[in-house]
Amino acid sequence: MSLVRLLGFSTLPCGCVVGHYRELATGQERSYVEVKGRSCDADAHRRNRLVQAAGEAAAPPTLAQAS
């Protein structure tokens, strides 16, 4: 388990909420499903699952800034 910093979050068109994080040790950015959308049919969208690049492309480009 590594320490991460929240960069922001976005909502996918299917209603799932994705959190965007940076690992402090490696500097790599990762995106995880935080909340599954009620109408989402994607099996890959499960809570605490890493979102693949294809799913990230559908995310809105703006992120809410964490304080």
Percent of the chain surpassing pLDDT 90: 46
Q: pLDDT grade, residue 52 (50/70/90)?
A: low
User: Which pLDDT score is estimated for 56?
Assistant: 43
The per-residue pLDDT for range 19-45, each reduced to its tens digit, is 999 999 999 999 999 999 888 998 888
| Cα–Cα dist 1/61, whole Å | 28
| Cα–Cα dist 32/19, whole Å | 5
Q: How many domains does the chain have?
A: 1
Is 31 a domain residue? Answer: yes
Is pLDDT of 7 > 90? yes
**Higher per-residue pLDDT: 48 or 31:** 31
User: Which pLDDT score is estimated for 1?
Assistant: 67
| Cα–Cα dist 67/51, whole Å | 23
Is 46 a domain residue? Answer: yes
Is 49 a domain residue? Answer: yes
